[in-house]
Every structure is written in C-alpha cells, then in structure tokens.
C-alpha cells in the first residue's frame, strides 16, 4: 500500500492520537496500516494499539542493541534485520494485543471493501452525487481514494449519518472530511432521500439482473446485511 493517498497527515494524527507511530511505516508497512485501520474501529482497542506499536518498535530495538554489542553501528533507514523483526512482531497472533489489533483492522477493512460496492449515489440539484450510510466503523477517510478515482472530475459526497460527517470532493480538489453541519444545502442535512429517477434506475437494473430462481436470502444477508439495506433503493419495497 502507498503511504499517501488514503489519508492526509492531519487525519493520520487524529486517527491514532494515543500512540506514537513515528517511523512505524519505515519499519513495517503492514504494522503501520494494521494500527491505522484498527484505530478506525468502533471497538475500544486504543490501549491494545499502543502496546502493539510499542512491541513492534521494541523488537527492532532488541536487534539494534545486539548489533551494537557486537560492534556494528548503523544509521539512517532501518536495516533488513530490523524490518524482519518488526514484521514478526506485527504478525505474532499468539500475542493477545497483536491478535486484537489485527481483528479490529480486519473488521474495518471488510467494511471498507463492502461499502465500495454498496454505496448508492444520486445527484442533487447542483450535480453533486451523494450517497448515505451509517457504517459500524469510522471508515470515511479510507473511501476517499477509491471514489475520487471512480468519479474523476464529478463532485461527490458520502454522508455518515451515524457520526454526522461528510466526505466531500469538489471538482479539481482533494476529498475532505467535514462535519455535516457545515453544509447548508438541504440535500446534506435531510435525513432521507425521497424516491427519484435514479432510485428507479437502480430498481430497474436490479430487476433486470436478478434471477428469482436462484434467490438465497441467507447468502444475500451475508453480503448485504440488513443494517445497510435502508440505503439501497433496490431493497426498498
């Protein structure tokens, strides 16, 4: 994964405000993003994340201490041995902190992937394509890159109704995260979108590709949980 693109630096600091991640990316990309995604979780795992990061860093300090005792001194970027030690520490699922953080990060990644396919956009009167959701986790920042590439120069917005936040991307500008209250437009502040032409198109598409003979409600709920269905036009009666 790239270090940039998903989050601005200020958002990274806000996401992990209880743990020092300085240098973590250089030690282990996997550890960096595991900590970052875990911090987006709604679960109370801040303490586990802090200990996870410290264990990753300590694993490298032990290697460096051994090299110093042997008369070998390094400077600059972490050596290969440091990175290998960091990778081992970050993947040690026998450690309860590592396991907890990995599970929290996995839940977040799963919801990010799910919402890239389940968000439904409709344009407002100004041509801004708007989708609404209420995700379990604080995942809006992680959706920025995907939908910026998807929409190109078309303005769009994703509203998190649970947290009253909006991820908004204007033409020619980077996506930004703002409180929903900062938008005066009625489309941003209303609780529900009324039925419109675009929702009718979604329903028509769904009816066209749907095969009733292969309907499997249990599998459908697995990929399209009921808590998301209120935002899906094709699932409305």
Side-chain half-sphere CA neighbours of 5 within 13 A = 9
- pLDDT band, very low/low/confident/very high, at 3 (cuts 50, 70, 90): very low
What pLDDT sits at residue 64? 53
49: left (phi over 0), alpha (psi -120 to 50) or beta: alpha
- pLDDT band, very low/low/confident/very high, at 139 (cuts 50, 70, 90): very high
The mean-pLDDT minimum among 14-23, 148-157, 172-181, 225-234 falls in 14-23
Average model confidence (pLDDT) across the chain: 80
Distance of CA 160 to the CA centre of its chain: 13
The mean-pLDDT minimum among 7-21, 95-109, 191-205 falls in 7-21
What pLDDT sits at residue 94? 95
Does position 13 have pLDDT exceeding 70, yes or no?
Answer: no
Reduce the DSSP state of residue 145 to 3 states and report it. helix
The most distant pair of C-alpha atoms in the chain lies apart, rounded to whole Å, by 73
**In the beta sheet, which residues pair with residue 176?**
168
- pLDDT band, very low/low/confident/very high, at 60 (cuts 50, 70, 90): confident
Q: Which has more confidence, 170 or 17?
A: 170
Per-residue pLDDT, averaged over 9-23, amounts to: 55
Is 185 within 8 Å of 130 (Cβ atoms)?
A: no
**How many residues make up the chain in this entry?**
237
Per-residue pLDDT, averaged over 180-191, amounts to: 62
Predicted structure pTM score: 0.76
Structure tokens at 177: 């995260």
Phi, psi of 132 (to 5 degrees): -120, 150
Cβ partners under 8 Å of residue 225, min gap 6? none
What pLDDT sits at residue 215? 74
What pLDDT sits at residue 130? 93
Per-residue pLDDT, averaged over 207-226, amounts to: 72
């Amino acid at each position: 994964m790239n270090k940039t693109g998903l989050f601005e630096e200020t958002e990274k600091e806000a996401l992990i405000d209880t743990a020092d991640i300085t240098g973590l990316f250089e030690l282990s990309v996997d550890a960096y993003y595991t900590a970052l995604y875990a911090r987006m979780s709604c679960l109370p795992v801040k303490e586990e994340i802090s200990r996870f990061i410290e264990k990753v860093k300590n694993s490298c300090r032990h290697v460096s201490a051994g090299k110093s005792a042997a008369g070998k001194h390094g400077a600059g970027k972490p050596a290969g041995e440091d990175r290998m030690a960091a990778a081992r520490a970050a993947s040690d699922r026998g450690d309860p902190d590592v396991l907890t953080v990995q599970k929290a990060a996995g839940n977040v990644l799963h919801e990010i992937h799910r919402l890239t396919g389940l968000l439904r956009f409709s344009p407002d009167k100004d041509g801004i394509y708007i989708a609404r959701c209420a995700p379990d986790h604080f995942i809006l920042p992680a959706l920025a890159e995907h939908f910026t590439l998807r929409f190109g120069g078309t303005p769009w917005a994703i509203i998190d109704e649970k947290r009253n936040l909006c991820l908004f991307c204007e033409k020619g500008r980077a996506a930004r995260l703002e409180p929903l209250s900062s938008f005066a437009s009625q489309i941003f502040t209303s609780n529900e979108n009324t039925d419109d032409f675009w929702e009718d198109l979604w329903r028509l598409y769904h009816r066209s590709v749907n095969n009733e003979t292969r309907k499997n409600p249990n599998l459908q709920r697995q990929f399209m949980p009921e808590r998301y269905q209120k935002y899906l036009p094709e699932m409305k009666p």
